[in-house]
Structure 1
Amino acid sequence: MAKKHTVIHLLEYLGLKAALAVFGVMGLDRASAAGGRLARFVGPKTGVSNRARANIRRVMPDLSPEEIERIIADMWENLGRTVGEYAHLERFTRPEERHRIEVVHAGALRSIAASGNGGVFISGHFSNWELLPLVMRLEGLEGGDVYRRANNPFVNEWMVSLRESITGGAIQIPKGGVGARLIVRLMRENKFVAMLADQKMNDGVEARLFGLRAMTTGAPAGLAVRYNVPIVPACIERLKGAHFRITVYNPITARPGADPFEDVMRITQEINDFLEARIRERPHEWFWMHNRWS
């Protein structure tokens, strides 16, 4: 069985590399557009889209069926563009391509970094979420970014290598015990950790998202309380094609003298409130296929 899985994983990886090779030949803008068109045509017809439809109906019941279908189609186009852009992520690091990424309130981000205390840089699966740790590099924030291991070991190794290259060697932090130790080290060194905080975490804390129970990671809040570092929320928006705006919002901080458990719960809820507000603003750019509320 293990050998069969290895063969399947290898074939999946080779298929991914072949697709990326095709996108690589196209150039960034054409690859982004082609990936978007293909995904918009195929994606809404797949069974996994039914989970996205159910999620949207559950949390935004006032939307009409036509509005939901537009969100689904636009979501798939964004995902397809993101896949096409994977073949060109390194281009976003070049000085001549800086016009592709606008960072709003970058000065505030640099001021937090200049304080020397480090922090936690959070967002969700918005637009092309791979750009979050890249922004850390562009704005001079040292540290690492948390990732979930891919089920396919070949894909996982490739993804880690890719992220290391585009972030200038930022530490890649797998979720789990090893990753937790790396995060503690970075916090003690007054550096930054980037993470996406919008996925279900069965062993997390119970918070609300769109008014519904949602098990949520308590890690960002726990770091803020334990190390007295700010949580810096950010949102990634796709503007036109392969151009993006990353907006940095006011930091979320621990309250001096507060009960640690209560403060972790408060901060976690504030993070979910931030994510919900951003999803409502641009629902078509969020990854609705997460099994978020079950």
Structure 2
Amino acid sequence: MARKGKFLHLLEYSALKVTVAFFGSMNVDRASDVGGWLGRRIGPRLSFTNRARNNIALAMPELSAEERERIVVDMWDNLGRTIAEYAHLEVFARPEERHRIDVVHAETLRALAASDNGGIVISGHFANWEILPVAMQFENLEGGEVYRHANNPYVNKWMIGLRERVTQAVQVPKGGPGARTLVKLLREDKFVAMLVDQKMNDGIEAKLFGHRAMTTGAPAGLAVRYNAPIFSACVERVKGAHFRVTVYDPITARPGADAFEDVMRITQELNDFLEARIRERPHEWLWLHNRWTKQRQTRPRRR
């Protein structure tokens, strides 16, 4: 690592630790509220937020400029809360704080686990996405969670350590070594959680909001090859630092179907799931991703 790059990484990591200490000095509800307040007032003014405005206009052109801007402001409220809640992630995993996470339709997952079978749980960057593995821990679903390696190695190490302490789940990096770990977990009838809403340049081209979107084929590929059911889940922020996690009916491989066609079908079904949930609660999705295949976009005017 070059000296300048290392210095910048250490600076970023120091800023992270100061932020965590700031929000950690408050209780979880107060921290969430303050984070939301800061997010609403700072986030919409940042230049890269224009990507979110462009994405919303591309995905839902029927919305007015005012409606799009309301989504942007509320997105930053949620994101500010999520950032603040990292300082209290361990609080959510405490048995006495179980009331903060309501899990809907978890009985299917429990029944599968009781029968010594596992599966794949997919979701997107909804509400506070770190809550999903915590909910899985509450439901005694052993396994792992896939993560994208942070560019900053110090931040990456901190994040992995935090998730390991909170969820007790195996941390699985995206890529070759991670794929081997995923297969091992599924063969051991464990559960694997992954977020599938980010752009994957070497993935499968599927549609999202009617536009081309390069999408990971990993969950579909695992489902077809290892006959593992895929459970879609969505995290919603009910109020403040309280959440609802809804688990949906499983998507399974079709016996005897062409493997390639089945992977394509399942991948599109997962994108259809994501789109439906985003339309229901657009303010709780992270629109800042560079999600769609590059195409010409114009900056929407603000009124």
TM-score (structure 2 length as normaliser): 0.95
Percent of paired sites with the same residue: 70
Deviation of 1:13 (Å) = 0.4
SS at 1:87's partner residue? helix
Q: Does 1:178 align with 2:157?
A: no
Structure 1 runs of 4+ with >3 Å offset: none
Alpha-carbon separation, structure 2, partners of 1:264 and 1:69: 36
Measured in 1, the distance between the counterparts of 2:261 and 2:227 equals 15
1:47 is paired with a residue of what secondary structure?
coil
Identify the residue that residue 76 of structure 2 maps to in structure 1: 76
Question: Is 1:259 paired with 2:219?
Answer: no
Partner of 2:99 in structure 1? Answer: 99
Asked whether 1:235 is paired with 2:234, we answer yes
CA drift of 1:35 comes to 0.6
The whole-number CA distance in structure 1 between the counterparts of 2:180 and 2:25 is: 40
Q: How does 1:81-160 map to 2 (within 5 A)?
A: 81-160=81-160
Give the superposition deviation at 1:114.
2.0
- For the residues of structure 2 that align with 1:110 and 1:188, how far apart are their CA atoms? 18
Counterpart for residue 213 of structure 1:
212
Q: How many angstroms apart in 2 are the aligned matches of 1:88 and 1:31?
A: 9
Counterpart AA for 2:138: L
Residue-by-residue CA offset, 1:116-174 (whole Å, 9 max, x unaligned): 22100100000000111111111011110000010000000000000000002x11001
Deviation at 1:231, TM superposition (A): 0.2
Mapped partners of 1:153, 1:28: distance in 2: 27
Structure 2: give runs of 5+ residues left out of the alignment.
295-303
Q: Does 1:283 align with 2:282?
A: yes
Distance 2:203 2:160 in 1: 25
**Cα distance in 2 for residues equivalent to 1:22 and 1:116:** 43
Q: Secondary structure at the match of 1:137?
A: helix
Give the count of matched residue pairs. 293
TM-score by length of 1: 0.98
Separation in structure 2 between the aligned mates of residue 11 and residue 27 of structure 1, nearest angstrom: 26
Secondary structure of the residue aligned to 1:88 is: helix
Deviations 1:64-113 (A, max 9, x none): 00000000000000000001100000011111111100000111221122
Instruction: Specify the alignment match of 1:42 in structure 2.
Output: 42
**Are residue 7 (structure 1) and residue 7 (structure 2) matched?**
yes
- How large is the Cα RMSD of the aligned pairs? 0.8
Cα deviation, 1:14-56, whole Å, max 9, x if unaligned, reads 1110111010011100100001100110000111110000000
- 1:196 alignment counterpart: 195
Give the match's secondary structure for 1:81.
Answer: helix
Distance in 2 (CA, whole Å) between partners of 1:112 and 1:249 is 14
User: Given residue 116 of structure 1, which amino acid in structure 2 is its aligned partner?
Assistant: D
CA distance in 2, matches of 1:12, 1:266: 41
Alpha-carbon separation, structure 2, partners of 1:286 and 1:107 = 26
